[in-house]
Amino acid sequence: MLELARLPQKTASGAAWPRPGPGGLAMGLARTGQELEAIQRLRYNIFTEEMAAVFPDSVDGLDCDRYDAWCEHLMVKEIASGRVVGTYRMLTPANARKAGGYYSESEFDIGGLARLRGSLAEVGRSCIHADYRNGAVIMLLWSGITRLMRDVGARHVLGCASVSLRDDGVTAAEVWRAARERLQGDPALRRVTPRCRYPVERLNSALPARIPPLIKGYLKLGASICGEPAWDPDFNTADFPVLLDMRSMDARYRRHFGLDVRQAVAA
């Protein structure tokens, strides 16, 4: 692994960010076939167990597709054991051209983002072990994402935020209710169209539900849901398109990820 950051076991008292697990955590980029396989196994285990995803072409319990070969794979592992506990993958603008497009294009028509393609990176396959869903791992992963975005000169991040339909769409309905209010208030946010639209109008939005932590986190960063959800039958999810302009990221996160360092020095 090409290490990019570490989070030690002990942090300062009153730290603003979540504490890591015992032994500390390291974040970096996968650089070997074994590391990629460990990432793919983590994805498979979590997606099949928690989303009941179906991988008809999977071999040996791995989640892999043709985009993996073109992506940078961010990984977080326990320093003491080496166990992989979190991952994201990123498809840079240059590699998206080589791959023939973005994974998101299998679910959405992104013609409304045509002007952004030269600065558009895609993130996906977000996956965090149940032992580490306290915020520490996701913050490490996003510190890696922001660093990669800066290194490749990309400005916009595109992704699909998946919501499980195992609750008959109750949670998806809550997400859509919040997204629809923003889209109606600012029609310019509606930038993409699902190829296989999930029928959100049939969902019972009166039932109580909470917006999933991952989507809530995207919105806190400053991202926007930019269209209606697509239906992913393999994962049994409603996938919401999410777009983030790095220049519009919430100021607190920009400071935390060091995006304003150069500006501060220049001032």
Beta-bridge partner residues of 162? 239
Give tens-digit pLDDT for 154-208: 999 999 999 988 888 889 999 998 898 888 888 888 999 999 999 987 776 677 7
Q: Is the pLDDT of residue 7 over 90?
A: no
Q: How many CB atoms lie within 10 A of CB 48?
A: 16
CATH topology of domain 2-266: Aminopeptidase (3.40.630)
| Structural domain boundaries in the chain | 2-266
**49 Rama class: left (phi>0) / alpha (psi -120 to 50) / beta:** alpha
| Arithmetic mean of pLDDT, 219-243 | 93
pTM above 0.75, yes or no: yes
Q: Is the pLDDT of residue 261 over 80?
A: no
Give tens-digit pLDDT for 98-131: 999 999 999 999 999 999 999 999 999 999 999 9
Give tens-digit pLDDT for 24-72: 999 999 999 999 999 999 999 999 888 888 887 778 899 999 999 999 9
Burial 115-136 (b: 16+ CB within 10 A, else e): ebeebbbbbbbbbbbeebeeeb
Give residue for tokens 């997204």.
179
CA separation for the pair 173, 167 (Å, rounded): 10
Q: Is the pLDDT of residue 22 over 50?
A: yes
Helices 136-152 and 213-221 meet at what angle, rounded to 10? 40
